[in-house]
Amino acid sequence: MWIVLILGGSATILFQLTMVDPRERKHVQGGMIVGVTVVVTAGLLLVNYLDHPYSDRAASIQPNEMRATLAMIEDEHPVARPPCAEDGTPRPGAVV
């Protein structure tokens, strides 16, 4: 998927470069190419961000409710063990 996205973005930017008109002002054409490049790059960064929602960075999804539920289980039943370890893997012998 990433190869197709990067090749598509590169082709879009290269297409803009092939449409350069020598009669037009260079800063106007440069501005249009930079604008397209910014949009393509922002799109790729957004896809990357949405592709990894649980990574350890700002605004990512955190297991806050799971932590609160585990704390509630430990408060109500101190000897009870949850059926999974802290990393989410099932404990041996646990009924899932």
Question: Do residues 90 and 78 make contact, with C-beta atoms less than 8 angstroms apart?
Answer: no
38 in any annotated domain: yes
Query: For the chain, how many structural domains are there in total?
Result: 1
Domain limits for position 42: 2-51
Supply the pTM of this predicted model: 0.58
73 in any annotated domain: no
What is the predicted pLDDT for the residue at 63? 82
- C-alpha dist (Å) from residue 84 to 32, 73, 89, 94: 54, 13, 5, 8
What is the predicted pLDDT for the residue at 36? 92
Indicate the length of the chain as a whole number: 96
75 in any annotated domain: no
What is the predicted pLDDT for the residue at 95? 65
**Mean pLDDT by groups of 10 residues along the chain of 96 residues:** 90 89 88 92 90 80 84 82 78 70
What is the predicted pLDDT for the residue at 7? 94
